[in-house]
């Protein structure tokens, strides 16, 4: 009751048995109206009649911190008992569960692309009113760092946050958390969104869409089991850790793209039994098979079971709704936690007037202005990040590249272009596309790629040759030298470099940046062979490994 007074609430509702101190009630009655409900269902029914959202307060893992949430003007806050906190029934009745920072150990409470655009716009045109709708409860964080947090290599989720909602608000940006955009009317210039208070509408003069990508979850039996988990944001990372701490011991990672192999490493670091299930012939199918085989070998060496060429057909589920296995067209693999890494798809469905490209991603021009299907610009609407498609500079065709590097650059370009439409000086900066540069690792093996793979080149109708070479991360005789494998692709006729892939020990992955610059500049393999690169035994062989690969490609072209 003293807590209720501190919150300055309109009324107190006691749920369950009337076991509370009479004197406290008498004192409280001087200030508050006290109501009684037999159970949580009765309270929930009353709240629904009053059109009041019911919000739980309980310091559980995964609960949303109250300080990151914008509460509705009126709501019911449901507290639990001092020791056990909210019951299962109470949590189920609540729209969401919030936590409040406190001292002590009891559970009761006594005594991505969008934020970057907003920040950039705020600096360029400081007097503009900027409203950011974010359906989650965090801003400006590194989703790419989640596997390393799960692995224990990063101290906690706070380390992944670049700017908090409060820091954005201090700069004059109206950040509305827990606010999911559900519709855009570009004629009326309105965005409809849903928050804890219900459906809201906000008008706009300029609109930026940075809705990101969603995890792909195919329609398979059992995929909705409680411990089938995607890994897309901080909440997902916390849920994985919660399940591990609750006793999960056998983890199946379905899909072995970047997130899949990084989460496999994270779960091994947590001491779990790990099975990786991949429908293609090798893990990390974005790379060629000979590079993928090195990834498979590294996984098996660290104790993971690697299953390739197996299509998932469903999941075994117990009567209580918990997953027990991953079922494939070849065998069943036991698991009490499944990391679903089937890939991602752009969230571009809000903008129905927009042109769409691969995977239904939004099509923009090089200023990130959204385009209509006829190629004209959709007035005063920009888009950036994982929800859009990107120009591949090698094939001059659109491709979906959900990577943070592109999202940040696109956000900057969109912010500057939008600011120019409001009268700010325009830098003339545009987003020129990408060459698909990416890097990851599995334990001690670094893997990187840039440019096209063989299948992409074939799809583009290019006449190509390929080559692969073995090298070392530093001079072969220098202490610490580790093996590395390079694969490359070049086009007949033009002799231009089209793709490079690398796998090897520490330092191998960084070699991809030389290849990326060569691809960006449309260099021929002959030019790359003669490029002036650095050399000293502690850093490289006298011929850089990328140049050794370029020489091999020259030989193939000359045959």
* Catalytic residue numbers, as ranges: 144
Give the whole-angstrom CA distance, residue 63 versus residue 61.
6
Locate 356 and state its tokens.
């769409």
Give the whole-angstrom CA distance, residue 247 versus residue 249.
6
List of residues 6+ apart from 11 with CB closer than 8 A: 32, 33, 34, 35
Give the whole-angstrom CA distance, residue 397 versus residue 175.
35
Give the whole-angstrom CA distance, residue 188 versus residue 51.
28
Locate 31 and state its tokens.
């200030």
Strands 54-57 and 96-99: parallel
Locate 346 and state its tokens.
């752009």
Task: Note whether 100 and 78 are within 8 A (CB).
Answer: no
Burial class (CB in 10 A: 0-12, 13-18, 19+), 34: middle
Q: Is 375 left (phi over 0), alpha (psi -120 to 50) or beta?
A: left
Give the whole-angstrom CA distance, residue 428 versus residue 376.
20
Query: How far is CA 237 from each of CA 113, 137, 191, 295, rounded to the nearest angstrom?
Result: 20, 14, 30, 24
381: closest CA among 112, 117, 115? 117
């Amino acid at each position: 009751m003293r807590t209720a007074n501190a919150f300055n609430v309109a009324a107190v509702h006691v749920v369950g048995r009337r076991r509370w101190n009479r004197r406290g009630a008498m004192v409280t009655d001087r200030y508050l109206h006290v109501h009684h409900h037999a159970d949580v269902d009765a309270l929930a029914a009353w709240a629904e009649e009053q059109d009041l959202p019911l919000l739980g307060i309980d310091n559980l893992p995964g609960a949303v911190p109250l300080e990151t949430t914008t509460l509705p003007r009126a709501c019911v806050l449901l507290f639990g008992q001092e020791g056990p906190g909210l019951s299962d029934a109470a949590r189920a009745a609540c729209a969401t569960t919030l936590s409040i920072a406190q001292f002590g150990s009891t559970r009761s409470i006594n005594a991505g692309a969008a934020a970057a655009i907003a920040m950039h716009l705020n600096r360029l045109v400081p007097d503009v009113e900027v409203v950011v709708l974010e359906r989650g409860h965090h801003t400006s964080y590194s989703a790419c760092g989640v596997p390393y947090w799960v692995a224990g290599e990063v101290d906690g989720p706070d380390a992944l946050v670049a700017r908090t909602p409060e820091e954005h608000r201090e700069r004059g940006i109206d950040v509305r958390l827990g606010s999911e955009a559900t519709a855009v009317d570009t004629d009326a210039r309105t965005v409809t969104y849903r928050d804890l208070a219900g459906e809201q509408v906000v008008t706009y003069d300029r609109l930026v869409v940075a809705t990101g990508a969603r995890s792909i979850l195919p329609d398979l039996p059992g995929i909705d089991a409680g411990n089938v988990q995607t890994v897309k944001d901080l909440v997902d990372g916390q849920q994985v850790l919660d399940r591990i701490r609750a006793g999960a011991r056998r983890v199946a990672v379905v899909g072995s793209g970047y997130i899949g192999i990084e989460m496999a490493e994270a779960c091994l670091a947590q001491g779990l039994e790990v099975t990786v299930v991949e429908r293609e012939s090798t893990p990390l199918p974005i790379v060629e098979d000979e590079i993928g085989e090195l990834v498979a070998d590294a996984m098996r060496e660290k104790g993971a079971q690697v299953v390739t060429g197996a299509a998932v057909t469903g999941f075994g589920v117990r009567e209580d709704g918990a997953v027990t296995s991953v079922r494939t067209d070849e065998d069943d693999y036991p698991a009490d936690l499944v990391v679903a890494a089937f890939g991602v798809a752009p969230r571009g469905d809000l903008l129905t007037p927009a042109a769409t490209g691969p995977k239904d991603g939004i099509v923009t021009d090089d200023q990130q202005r959204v385009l209509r299907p006829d190629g004209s610009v959709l007035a005063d609407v920009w888009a950036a990040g994982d929800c859009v498609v990107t120009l591949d500079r090698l094939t001059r065709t659109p491709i979906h590249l959900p990577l943070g590097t592109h999202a940040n650059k696109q956000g900057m370009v969109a912010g500057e272009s939008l600011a120019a439409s409001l009268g700010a000086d325009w830098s003339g900066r545009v987003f020129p596309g990408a060459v698909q540069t990416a890097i990851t690792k599995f334990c001690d093996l670094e893997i990187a790629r840039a440019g096209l793979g063989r299948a992409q080149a074939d799809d583009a109708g290019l006449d190509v040759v390929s080559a692969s070479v073995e090298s070392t991360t530093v001079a072969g005789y220098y202490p610490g030298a580790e093996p590395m494998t390079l694969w490359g692709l070049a086009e007949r006729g033009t002799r231009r470099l089209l793709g490079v892939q690398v796998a090897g020990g520490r330092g191998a992955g960084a070699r991809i940046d030389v290849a990326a610059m060569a691809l960006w500049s449309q260099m021929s393999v002959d030019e790359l062979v003669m490029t002036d690169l650095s050399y000293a035994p502690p850093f490289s062989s006298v011929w850089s490994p990328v140049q050794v690969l370029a020489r091999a490609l020259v030989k193939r072209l000359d045959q």
